[in-house]
């Protein structure tokens, strides 16, 4: 069931989103050559604790996962598309890192993701990151009253096709609010004018994941969580929690 939020609820989600933004900033600030991924998780966890927020990631176990997720953020490196578990891997010069984090505060949830490079970047990685950010921006721009979910999906996929990138076919954005994952699903592939109508008060997490190799298929690591490109190509991931409003899309996960 799709829940339409009140303006008061959206204001509360904005506060949760602010915590998410601060946690992502802390994790990115901790990222450097030689730093373990678990140290990024610790930096984000500290922000959540200081804000009095909890993590919707920690202990989360969807139907596809063999074990509950053991951290407060996903840290995916290079060919890892999403859902990477932050462990003892030490970041190397040139790594492309995608971080996804959520926060629950006073009963409301925010969810966002960023991608960046560590050390000396490869030009192709910067292009991939820019294309993924552009796909997110296009999806948000399409999230207006009177449009439908398919308009968001089409905007994202148009950017991905122009960049000759693939996107994992089974994963995309979602409704969000009292829970991290709510209806409706927001595919990254779609046709304009199709799907659930966008109304004032609808809150969505929009999250393109672009794979440089151009494939839409992916592999899953033995950990049951980490998604990887099938050809070893690089991947990037951006996400914002937004609200549909009469005055245009409102981004709830800005700093």
Query: Which pTM was predicted?
Result: 0.97
Mean pLDDT of the chain: 98
pLDDT of 174: 98
Cα–Cα distance, 33 to 97 (Å, whole number): 12
List pLDDT tens digits, range 121-137.
Answer: 999 999 999 999 999 99
pLDDT of 183: 98
pLDDT grade, residue 182 (50/70/90)?
A: very high
pLDDT grade, residue 23 (50/70/90)?
A: very high
Cα–Cα distance, 222 to 203 (Å, whole number): 33
Q: Is 39 helix (H, G, I), strand (E, B) or coil?
A: helix
pLDDT grade, residue 92 (50/70/90)?
A: very high
The DSSP symbol for 210 reads: E
Question: Domains (ranges, CATH) in the chain?
Answer: 7-251 (3.90.230.10)
pLDDT grade, residue 96 (50/70/90)?
A: very high
Cα–Cα distance, 252 to 10 (Å, whole number): 8
Q: Is 170 helix (H, G, I), strand (E, B) or coil?
A: coil
Beta-carbon-side half-sphere exposure of residue 254 (alpha carbons within 13 Å)? 7
pLDDT of 234: 98
Q: Looking at residues 23-52, what average pLDDT do you find?
A: 98
> Taking each helix axis from N to C terminus, what angle separates 149-162 and 123-141, rounded to the nearest 10 degrees?
160
Q: In the chain, what percentage of residues exceed pLDDT 70?
A: 100
């Amino acid at each position: 069931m799709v829940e339409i939020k009140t303006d008061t609820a959206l204001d509360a989600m904005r506060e949760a989103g602010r915590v998410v933004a601060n946690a992502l900033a802390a994790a990115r600030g901790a990222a450097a050559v030689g730093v373990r991924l678990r140290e990024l998780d610790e930096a984000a966890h500290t922000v959540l604790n200081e804000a009095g927020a909890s993590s919707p990631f920690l202990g989360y176990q969807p139907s596809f996962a063999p074990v509950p997720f053991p951290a407060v953020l996903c840290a995916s490196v290079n060919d890892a598309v999403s859902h990477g578990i932050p462990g003892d891997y030490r970041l190397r010069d040139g790594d492309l890192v995608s971080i996804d984090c959520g926060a629950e505060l006073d009963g409301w949830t925010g969810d966002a993701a960023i991608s960046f490079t560590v050390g000396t970047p490869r030009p192709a990685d910067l292009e991939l990151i820019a294309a993924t950010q552009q796909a997110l921006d296009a999806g948000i721009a399409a999230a207006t009253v009177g449009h439908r979910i398919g308009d968001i999906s089409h905007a994202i996929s148009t950017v991905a096709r122009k960049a000759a990138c693939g996107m994992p076919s089974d994963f995309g954005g979602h409704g969000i609010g009292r829970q991290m994952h709510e209806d409706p699903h927001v595919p990254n592939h779609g046709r304009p004018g199709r799907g659930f109508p966008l109304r004032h008060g609808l809150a969505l997490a929009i999250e393109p994941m672009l794979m440089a190799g151009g494939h839409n298929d992916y592999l899953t690591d033995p950990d049951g969580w980490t998604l990887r490109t099938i050809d070893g190509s690089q991947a990037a991931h951006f996400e914002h929690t937004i609200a549909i409003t009469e005055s245009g899309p409102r981004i709830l996960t800005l700093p």
